[in-house]
Amino acid sequence: MNRLAQLRSEARFNLLGFRRSPAATFFTVVLPIIFLVIFTSIFGNEIISSTGARVATVYVPGILALALVSANFMNAAIVTVIRRENGVLKAMRATPLPPWVYVGGQLAASLVLTAFMTALVIGIGWLGYSVEVQPGAVPSLLITLGVGAAAFSALGLAITCVCPSEQAAPAITNMCVLPLYFVSDVFIPSEGAPRWMVVIGDIFPIKHLAHALGNTFDPFSEGIPMPVSRWLIIAAWGVFGVLVTLRWFRWTPRG
């Protein structure tokens, strides 16, 4: 088969595996929607006086960021560790499939998932909470999604290097992202939070992702948003993930 057909086949089976895994489906598809409904219910969907926009204008991009992290970082990490620990990656190494096609297939599947979740979250935000995508912001949205998916997939592969077992993978990945959600304007606004929390949020990529996505929905932003510095920070984290993966990634079981 040619490489393109191989990529398509890998992506297709990755998505099939995702659909058949209740845990993956719940955490990536269902949970973000539950969060969106809960947060907008708790905090209402009033017009915020300081910005003039509705509360959901903040939550829709926040939850979209959470869904992207889940679809890329969490999935890549957990699936890869399961395959590694069961000897599947090692067996794949013995086939002619080039490693980049394997990784590319996983990235392609994550992109499809990201696109699906974007449509779902935006759809619910629009129908349920009157949050609209600003037409001028579509290019910015697409770039943010692309950069974010690639970077968080790379970080997902990188985190497998410190996951010793199948059981440890969900715990370690959650430990990385859950606390960050609280300081990254995903669950609660960091406005008025202690300085150290703001600094931590600024260092890691999730806050930048949430804000870059936020531009898309901000009805008062002027002109075409281009959050270049946020993209660069997210991309830098992606490069870090690639470097860690290249240096420490294992194909063979650790357990």
Report, in Å, the least distance between residue 13 CB and other proteins: 5
Residue showing tokens 């300085």: 195
Distance CA 148, CA 206 (A): 9
Contact flag: residue 87 with other proteins (CB under 8 A): yes
Report CA torsion sign: 115, 120, 121, 126.
Answer: positive
**For residues 93 and 232, which CB has a smaller minimum distance to other proteins in the complex?**
93
The structure tokens listed for 30 are 């269902």
Report whether 117 contacts 148 (CB < 8 A). Answer: no
Report whether 113 contacts 15 (CB < 8 A). Answer: yes
The region of 70-78, 96-104, 120-128, 215-223 touching other proteins under the rule CB under 8 A is: 96-104
Report, in Å, the least distance between residue 77 CB and other proteins: 16
Going by C-alpha positions, the residue among 96, 103, 88, 75 that lies closest to residue 174 is 75
Going by C-alpha positions, the residue among 140, 121, 117 that lies closest to residue 132 is 121
Binds other proteins by CB under 8 A, chosen from 49, 50, 95, 223: 95
Contact flag: residue 86 with other proteins (CB under 8 A): yes
**For residues 30 and 199, which CB has a smaller minimum distance to other proteins in the complex?**
30
Number of residues near other proteins (by CB under 8 A): 23
Binds other proteins by CB under 8 A, chosen from 31, 45, 90, 193: 90
In the window 6-25, what residues touch other proteins (CB under 8 A)? 6, 9-10, 13, 16-17, 20-21
**b/e 120-134 (16+ beta carbons within 10 angstroms → b):** bbbebbeeebebeeb
In the window 55-84, what residues touch other proteins (CB under 8 A)? 83
Contact flag: residue 4 with other proteins (CB under 8 A): no
**For residues 98 and 139, which CB has a smaller minimum distance to other proteins in the complex?**
98
Report whether 52 contacts 220 (CB < 8 A). Answer: yes
The region of 95-103, 130-138, 141-149, 157-165 touching other proteins under the rule CB under 8 A is: 95-103
**For residues 9 and 221, which CB has a smaller minimum distance to other proteins in the complex?**
9
